[in-house]
Structure 1
């Protein structure tokens, strides 16, 4: 992709700042238009958030959510990439898996929660599984779709040189699908994060950002609700735009020179 088509560096940071400013402005306009007990303003929410960040309950909730996210999202990436690459050399398996994903991904992630609560009981496991399911579909699909675009001349050349199926996956398919793999990982993170917060709100087990948000809503604490929403948005942006973007630049650095 040419540099003319990609916004990088200072312009990208400026775009992010303008987007944040626009969101905060719309929020504050809504706060001016509605009673404070329905829509608190940005300053009061920021003050509450600063107080919450310094509390032990916030740290426990943050740790609980990140722990579940790490287990579910990490498992989904490993399985999604693995199954996607296997589909590159086992064509019938790829078609079966793609058909299953097309059917199952239409089910909202939160719809799985009651089933897994009955099967697994209350605890972290049902929420981790829901997160893994939500992230698995885009991760696997992105890799499988990318393997279909790998040039057959490269595959044939590797086979002529004696490459096994494992060698094909490691030396031909994996490097070729890396850009789509990173994009799929970012899409999978969005799915995983939304599924995690929804599951924590519904399950009501242990500490978590979703559970804290649900409790604020149950007690009609609108400042707490908006503070938790702001926390969830900030964390998602940091993980996606800092951690995953830096990983993307490192793995695909040849595209950013």
Structure 2
């Protein structure tokens, strides 16, 4: 008979082995993160339906969710010989608007990053351009859209230009601040090791400024999104903003709500993709 003492493991109060506790917690956390947004959406729909059914406001002002769903089906398909809204389906309206945002925001982001790097590294460039960027950042898009229409006409040029101008300041400001905040000790160390000015910018300044620059990109895309309806006020059809404006002219509230949802849902997806890109490119920043 063995005399070796038997070591008893402490019993887990929850009856779950310690090695399985962490995966279970991870699954519960993921379920909770998914359930909370879905629960809030369901609660919103219930409150919306109750408000519409109460009769406090007319169906023109507050249509029920079922009316918005019917409008969604109508603008997404061909019905009674009518294709979508104004001859264009919802997907096509959205695709045209997203193309405008991609082009305009892309130009604004690229220009903002380049000028931000210059302003952060060259003092006189910052002194020259910073007041103008601040002035531009405080202007609402409608303040200069009419001028863009006078200069560029009513086709795609003023729309893309408006979105580019709206997206430019957030990236320029965030990149400038990030470059200016790079520790001088890192720059001096790189120069002491024989790095040229370009080497310092490429290997020290850009990686250090990248987190704040990516945050500025997310802000810029959000500003461009919020400027979409303004960009499509003139000759905006086909396009989501033009569809919303045209439907509002006829008090077609269900179509207006469909357009708002169609603008916001891809915005959430794009922001999530940008956030994932940020976490992938700069993993040392951590997660919010």
Q: Show the counterpart of 1:78.
A: 110
Aligned residue pair count: 248
Give the superposed CA RMSD: 2.2
Distance 1:44 1:72 in 2: 34
With the length of structure 2 as denominator, give the TM-score of the two structures. 0.79
The structure whose residues are more often helix, as a share, is 1
With the length of structure 1 as denominator, give the TM-score of the two structures. 0.87
Q: Show the counterpart of 1:38.
A: 61
Distance 1:11 1:83 in 2: 43
Q: Show the counterpart of 1:213.
A: 244
- SS for the counterpart of 2:227 is helix
Deviation at 1:249, TM superposition (A): 2.0
The structure-2 alpha-carbon separation of the partners of 1:230 and 1:123, relative to structure 1 and needing over 3 Å to count, comes to: same
Q: Show the counterpart of 1:47.
A: 70
Map 1:78-227; keep pairs closer than 5 Å. 78-200=110-232, 202-227=233-258
- Where in structure 2 are there 5+ consecutive unaligned residues? 1-28, 78-83
Deviation at 1:188, TM superposition (A): 0.6
Distance 1:79 1:11 in 2: 41
The structure-2 alpha-carbon separation of the partners of 1:17 and 1:85, relative to structure 1 and needing over 3 Å to count, comes to: farther
Which deviates further from its counterpart, 160-169 or 9-18?
A: 9-18
Distance 1:162 1:142 in 2: 29
- Where in structure 1 are there 5+ consecutive unaligned residues? 1-7
- SS for the counterpart of 2:186 is helix
Distance 2:239 2:226 in 1: 13
The structure-2 alpha-carbon separation of the partners of 1:178 and 1:123, relative to structure 1 and needing over 3 Å to count, comes to: same
The structure-2 alpha-carbon separation of the partners of 1:40 and 1:162, relative to structure 1 and needing over 3 Å to count, comes to: same
Higher relative contact order (CA 8 A, sep 6+): 1
